[in-house]
Amino acid sequence: MKHFLWAIAFCVPISSQAQNTISGIIKTEKGDPIEGAKVYLKDYYSGDYSNEKGEFLLKSVKNGSYTLITSYFGYEVNLSVVKVESAAVSHVVVLKESTMTIEEMYVTATRANDKTPTTYANLDKEEIENKNFGQDLPFLLNTTPSTVVSSDAGAGIGYTGVRIRGVDPSRTNVTINGIPINDSESHSTYWVNMPDFASSTNSIQVQRGVGTSTNGAAAFGASINIKSDNIEEKAYAGIDNSIGSFNTLRTSVKAGTGLINNKFTFDTRLSRIVSDGFIDRASSNLKSFYMSGAWIGKKSLLKANVFVGRERTYQAWNGVPEAKYNGNSDSLLAHFNRNNFPGGIYQTTQDSINLFDSKDRNYNYYLYQNEVDDYQQDHYQLHFTHTFSERLTMNIAGHYTFGRGFYEQFRQDDDLSDYGINPFIVGTDTITTSDVIRRRWLKNHFYGGIFSLNYSVKNLKILVGAGANNYEGEHFGEVTWARIASNSEIGDRYYESKAQKTEVNGYVKANYQLKKFNFFLDLQVRNLDYSFVGMDDSYGELIELKQSVNYTFFNPKLGFMVDFNKQNNVYASFSIANREPVRGDFVENIARSIPKPEQLQNLEVGYRFTSSKFLANANYYWMNYKDQLILTGQINDVGSYTRTNVAKSFRSGIELELAYKVLKSLSLSGNLNISQNKIAQFTEFIDNYDNYDSDGNMIQDEIQHSNTDIAFSPNAIAGLGVHYSPIKNLDFNLYSKYVGSQFLDNTSSENRKLDGYFTSDFNVNYKILNVGLSEIVIGVMVNNLFNAQFVNNGYTWGYVAGGQRTIENFFFPQAGRNFLVRLALKF
């Protein structure tokens, strides 16, 4: 079956097209022509922009009825039906002014468009709604090129992640309405803190490479830009329910007032998602709230957004031992024997029963009933946009995020001294260890503002902006229970540290159009000051922290595009991004040995072709890293495994995107990434328990490596989609994906590798209109249609003991065939 699906893409004949044309004029209600308006046919790939006289021309249109879509900034989108029954059809479009469209200014500074010489993919609201059955937002991005998504629980709900071009999530810049979302210290985005945010999302743009990211942590391979729901003119209400495998249940309720007196609007959403997860006990209980209110003036817009996410997920962070996943009883017994000792992984009878008796692919190491992650994050955004004239628009936004929560752990036979608890003396015995339950807390505040000014004349667009943010974080640990309590009290903090990070950035962006040439320039300066002090827990050891660093980065981007005609163009861009180390890099190093910042030099060269029925994008990228930080296994002076700068490493590849409309009801799409992802040279360090110095310190073995693959960077990623709509409002979608093998570390070792895999996902949506409700949507989603057994994430560690090298691999299996059924009612 899968080979048949791939063959479709290459065997479908390209049908001939009648050479009909649609021409016309786009003008304002006053009769003035509009230059630069975009016009295209719904569900077709090519379009046109109006010239200085407001004229447009669409070629190669077959006979039939079409929806013509016309849009221009500051005006309402116009939808009109055009019937093509002759060789030449003429049509006049009148656009109405709309102040509500100026809210798109939120994302202008961070988004690319079809005149930007960079590589990106867009998801509009309709596509997001069709995919949104309740899984976390990364799983909605699975169809975008060069993308691999993963889930700790195996079913796409809970802790999920996304890698683009092999780049890990901490190197992917994420913004919502232009506001940075990445955690200031780890640089990661925790999607579990924003459950069901897709239900309040209007559009998503995924950029690959450095792109046009402006606010927040630097994009070191990708950026994800999210725009929340637009203002709705009419009042509405709706409920969206999904139910499916692993006792998954999603309920989402939305309502909005529409425009009140043409000045005010209010929207809200409440969501709850629960799931047992594919992995044993990997349950999720997620709640979220979204609220938006706006005041609309003649040339101004004031909009406030509040969204809150609360998650409580049972931990599945340990993964499944390789021998358990493979069902190899002899290897599993050897793994158990290696780790069955005081202080080892398996210490109790319950541990061993769980390891040997649980299902192979569903195994979860944790047994304590409250081994959970419990966190809440509240986001507040206030946007003000004002249009001074057709040439000049301003956007100002303020934001505040408050996060707080913990993860709870049961720890067996830990040293009491690790928690500041005195030994307990019973008669002549001194007890120095105990079972404990601990909570590791994080509380943080993140606030600031961004500003942008957009100026445009006939051939020149200039965007000037700035941003300033401040982060205050508190890390601390509590012992909530101890079998041997000694002198401890409930809520005693055994470590505590505070961090502050201040960031200021400014930028200038310019686009200049000279006939067929478009030139792009982006200059950004970013300064940050980061300091922290106190005690922290690093790999089970309490260490004292006191560090302060300051960085100033200059991040230039430039490029050009050549439009040969309305169907063909080429582009090229070169960008430099600089990025500071994350919190762990500082904590796990003493002040005199902290790593250097990373730098990325990114070249993108591409070709785009569009016609009414065919679209093709081809892109070459070269991402050259200087001082990239990688794990090498090295233990530093404070006993932590630390990331190390490597002088030279790179990612280089070719990306292809194709789309073909076979029939009005049938279309195909595909994407392909073929790449090399290499580290020139580095030293691997291996714990050797047979080798100690005179002071009792272990001496690690060292192995030199050259020209190795970067971890979690498959050399091939490919996707094929089939969309079929046999009747109006009924859509079938099948998407198949191949991901090549990936290495668990940077050594290119065959015994530390994830196998390649092929999966297919299917969904169908049917909309019923005008039956007493505005709309009824019935949907079915089948994930992993052909029940592939695969792993797309994991980790590895190893050591030398008794003269023998041991490798321990752990996998995160993904669920086999599973389904979700959806019923949405809209009023």
pLDDT digits (tens, 9 = 90+) for 636-681: 554 557 788 999 999 999 999 999 999 889 999 999 999 999 999 9
Task: Look at residue 664 and tell me if it is in a domain.
Answer: yes
d(CA 692, CA 128): 57
Burial of 811 (0-12, 13-18, 19+ CB in 10 A): buried
Nearby residues of 29 by Cβ (< 8 Å), 6 or more positions away: 94, 95, 96, 97
Task: Look at residue 75 and tell me if it is in a domain.
Answer: yes
Q: To which H or E segment does residue 399 belong?
A: strand 392-415
SS3 193: helix
d(CA 262, CA 553): 45
Mean pLDDT (whole number) for 205-216: 86
654 neighbors 674 (Cβ within 8 angstroms) = yes
Mean pLDDT (whole number) for 261-268: 93
Residue type, 643: R
Pairing of strands 20-28, 88-95: parallel
Instruction: Name the nearest CA neighbour of 290 among 378, 182, 180, 181.
Output: 378
pLDDT above 50 (res 13): no
Look at residue 100 in the predicted model and tell me its pLDDT: 61
539 neighbors 639 (Cβ within 8 angstroms) = yes
Each residue's pLDDT tens digit, 671-713: 999 999 999 999 999 999 999 988 888 899 999 999 999 999 9
Q: Kindly write down the DSSP assignment for every residue of 547-565, as one continuous string.
A: EEEEEEEEEEEEEEEEESS
Task: Look at residue 592 and tell me if it is in a domain.
Answer: yes
Q: How confident is the model at residue 5 (pLDDT cuts 50, 70, 90)?
A: very low
* Domain C-terminal end among 97, 119, 139: 97
Task: Look at residue 459 and tell me if it is in a domain.
Answer: yes
Burial of 491 (0-12, 13-18, 19+ CB in 10 A): exposed
Nearby residues of 371 by Cβ (< 8 Å), 6 or more positions away: 281, 314, 315, 408, 409, 410
Look at residue 76 in the predicted model and tell me its pLDDT: 79
Each residue's pLDDT tens digit, 238-252: 999 999 999 999 999
Six-digit token pair at 71? 């849009």
Count Cα neighbours of 821 within 13 Å in the Cβ-side half-sphere: 4
Integer-rounded Cα radius of gyration of the chain: 28
Per-range mean pLDDT, top range of 30-34, 186-190, 337-341, 401-405: 401-405
Q: What's the number of domains the chain is made of? A: 2
Burial of 517 (0-12, 13-18, 19+ CB in 10 A): exposed
Nearby residues of 92 by Cβ (< 8 Å), 6 or more positions away: 24, 25, 27
Look at residue 16 in the predicted model and tell me its pLDDT: 42
Mean pLDDT (whole number) for 375-403: 94
As a residue count, the chain comes to: 827
d(CA 782, CA 308): 29
Each residue's pLDDT tens digit, 505-546: 999 999 999 989 999 999 999 999 999 888 877 666 777 778
SS3 498: strand
CATH number at residue 72: 2.60.40.1120
d(CA 33, CA 509): 28
d(CA 30, CA 765): 42
Angle CA 52–54–56, to nearest 5:
110
Task: Look at residue 601 and tell me if it is in a domain.
Answer: yes
Structural domain that includes position 39: 1-97
Task: Look at residue 195 and tell me if it is in a domain.
Answer: no
* Domain C-terminal end among 72, 97, 122: 97
* Domain C-terminal end among 97, 119, 147: 97
626 neighbors 659 (Cβ within 8 angstroms) = no
Tokens 């190491």 label which residue?
A: 365
CATH number at residue 600: 2.40.170.20
Mean pLDDT (whole number) for 87-100: 80
Question: 302-341 b/e with 16+ CB inside 10 Å = b?
Answer: ebbbebbbbbbbbbbbbbbbbbbbeeeeeebeebbeebee
Task: Look at residue 483 and tell me if it is in a domain.
Answer: yes
Query: CA-CA-CA-CA torsion for 117, 119, 124, 128, nearest 10 degrees?
Result: -170
Task: Look at residue 389 and tell me if it is in a domain.
Answer: yes
